[in-house]
Amino acid sequence: MPTTLVWLRNDLRLSDHAALTHAAERGCVVPVFIWAPDEEGDWPPGGAHRWWLQASLQVLDASLREHGSRMILRSGPSLKALIDLASSTGADQVAWHTRVAPHLRERDVEVRNGLAREGLETRQFAGRILHDPDAIQTGSGGPYKVFTPFWKKFQAQVHMSDPLDIPELANTAPETWPEGATLDDFDLSPMEQDGVDWADGMRETWVPGEAGALERLDAFIEESLIDYEAQRNVPADHGTSWLSPHLHWGEVSPRTVWVRVNGWVQNGAMRDEADKFLSEIAWREFSYHVLHHFPATPTAPLKDKYAAFPWRDDSDGLEAWTRGQTGYPIVDAGMRQLWAIGWMHNRVRMIVASFLTKDLLVPWQEGARWFWDTLCGADLANNTMGWQWASGSGADAQPFFRIFNPISQGEKHDPDGAYVRRWIPELADLPNKWIHKPWAAPDNVLAEAGVELGTTYPHPIVDHSEARARALDVLKSVNS
């Protein structure tokens, strides 16, 4: 029987897995994951990523074993690991999903050529995203830089087939399983800091792996999709799907999400709600489209004029921001949520990004790097899109002069302060009126709530009105 190595990457699932299905149809299957962080260029997995990866690989190996297979772990270099494994298993082909990551393009080409030199066939499958970024083009034949026309073209052009079932793996094991590394060899656990295990909050919040992803998807469809449009901007609620890390790691395919959400509509519920949610999945597609066509954007602004933007070097401000100590409760709550559970609500991501890049004038790349290290679902395409959107320099971006007011944003989206109270316990006893601006509260109110500004909670590190005026002045200098 021909033997296929299935090179697992960001596709840590069994269902709707084209490479695995193809391999199972051919004969013997040897699933392999290769730990090669130094092949990821400037974007090796951050701390939260590593935690998730470790858990997800464990789950995937257990699922493969339940189906009569298993996962072999190897350390990089990837090409060498694949050639060694092919030689010890007699494999004649290697199959994988394309990752749509410009920084890996060269590596993947090298691997493909290197395998060909050894006489090994390769098969690559799509599945990371729903569209082919080279096939969707503007009328003049180029890539899209604006979401709405992209979305219209996407809807007209992309036809969704049903997701693939889990392939039959029971009789696909090789005669003998080759040796592999163990997860401990990869040292993926995050470090303890000051005696505190950083992963505690992540462990309590998430169930990495395919089953956890599908359970979350189903729960979202049953409980929250109907209110998605209204609730998606309320950070205290569970109004969004929380699928981003699962989608990032490929524990559920975007096609499965798409088809299940549409299935819910056909069961008699509302089309508009589903479309609103699917348009967010389409933002993910758009992010990948832009990253594919503009591979420099993870570090360079898409709009040239921002290349010379006079950002400030403000290491104190940056540190206060990362630690959730800016003195603006909605910003600090978001940054603490991120640190605690490796995820932050989208509305708050926009607020904290605006604060960093506009109130503090710290380069968006610094924020993107911090998110990269702390988000379980840090995703080069979506993170780049989010940061360039917030700083005004990206595709279809929020103009730089639109500066979020952290007080009114807090009052609008967290009117009873539930989100702030959850993440900033030292402010929990402040009345609603002051929860988003504790510095304005009368002394007796602060005393009654046990808040001592400058001691239990910081004074604002900048005055928002002054910071706003400063940012607009800087913008003038860029536009002049």
**Which residues does the annotation mark as catalytic?**
280, 283, 311, 346, 364, 387
d(CA 73, CA 191): 22
Span near ligand FAD by CB under 6 A; candidates 4-12, 93-101, 386-394, 410-418? 386-394
Q: Which CB, 298 or 329, lies closer to ligand FAD?
A: 298
Q: Which CB, 4 or 241, lies closer to ligand FAD?
A: 241
Q: Which CB, 173 or 207, lies closer to ligand FAD?
A: 207
Task: Give me the least distance between CB of 74 and ligand FAD, in Å please.
Answer: 27
d(CA 158, CA 176): 42
Task: Give me the least distance between CB of 216 and ligand FAD, in Å please.
Answer: 9
Task: Give me the least distance between CB of 111 and ligand FAD, in Å please.
Answer: 26
User: Is 248 an interacting residue with respect to ligand FAD (CB under 6 A)?
Assistant: yes
Task: Give me the least distance between CB of 376 and ligand FAD, in Å please.
Answer: 9
Judged by CB under 6 A, the residue of 378, 403, 430, 435 near ligand FAD is: 378
User: Is 214 an interacting residue with respect to ligand FAD (CB under 6 A)?
Assistant: no
d(CA 88, CA 91): 8
Judged by CB under 6 A, the residue of 30, 48, 81, 385 near ligand FAD is: 385
Judged by CB under 6 A, the residue of 88, 231, 325, 346 near ligand FAD is: 346
Residues 6+ apart with CB under 8 A from 268: none
Q: Which CB, 172 or 240, lies closer to ligand FAD?
A: 240
Structure tokens at 138: 């503007």
Task: Give me the least distance between CB of 401 and ligand FAD, in Å please.
Answer: 18
Instruction: Identify the H or E element spanning 446.
Output: helix 443-448
Span near ligand FAD by CB under 6 A; candidates 154-162, 348-356, 444-452, 466-474? 348-356
Judged by CB under 6 A, the residue of 210, 379, 396, 414 near ligand FAD is: 379
Evaluate whether 95 touches 69 at the Cβ level (below 8 Å).
no
User: Is 256 an interacting residue with respect to ligand FAD (CB under 6 A)?
Assistant: no
Task: Give me the least distance between CB of 476 and ligand FAD, in Å please.
Answer: 25
Span near ligand FAD by CB under 6 A; candidates 56-64, 84-92, 282-290, 301-309? 282-290
User: Is 281 an interacting residue with respect to ligand FAD (CB under 6 A)?
Assistant: yes
User: Is 350 an interacting residue with respect to ligand FAD (CB under 6 A)?
Assistant: yes
Evaluate whether 422 touches 342 at the Cβ level (below 8 Å).
no
CA-nearest of 34, 38, 27, 24 to 3 is 27
Span near ligand FAD by CB under 6 A; candidates 31-39, 299-307, 345-353, 401-409? 345-353
d(CA 417, CA 407): 11
Peptide bond into 102 cis (omega under 30): no
Beta-bridge partners for 73 = 33
User: Is 349 an interacting residue with respect to ligand FAD (CB under 6 A)?
Assistant: yes
Task: Give me the least distance between CB of 245 and ligand FAD, in Å please.
Answer: 8
How many helices (H) and strands (E) would you count in the chain?
22, 7
- C-alpha distances (whole Å) from 451 to each of 238, 445, 460, 462 are 28, 9, 14, 19
| Residue 91 DSSP SS3 | coil
Evaluate whether 99 touches 36 at the Cβ level (below 8 Å).
no
CA-nearest of 402, 406, 404, 426 to 414 is 406
Judged by CB under 6 A, the residue of 163, 209, 386, 410 near ligand FAD is: 386
Site residues (vs ligand FAD, CB under 6 A) = 232, 240-244, 247-248, 280-281, 283-284, 287, 346, 349-350, 353, 371, 375, 377-379, 382-383, 385-387, 390
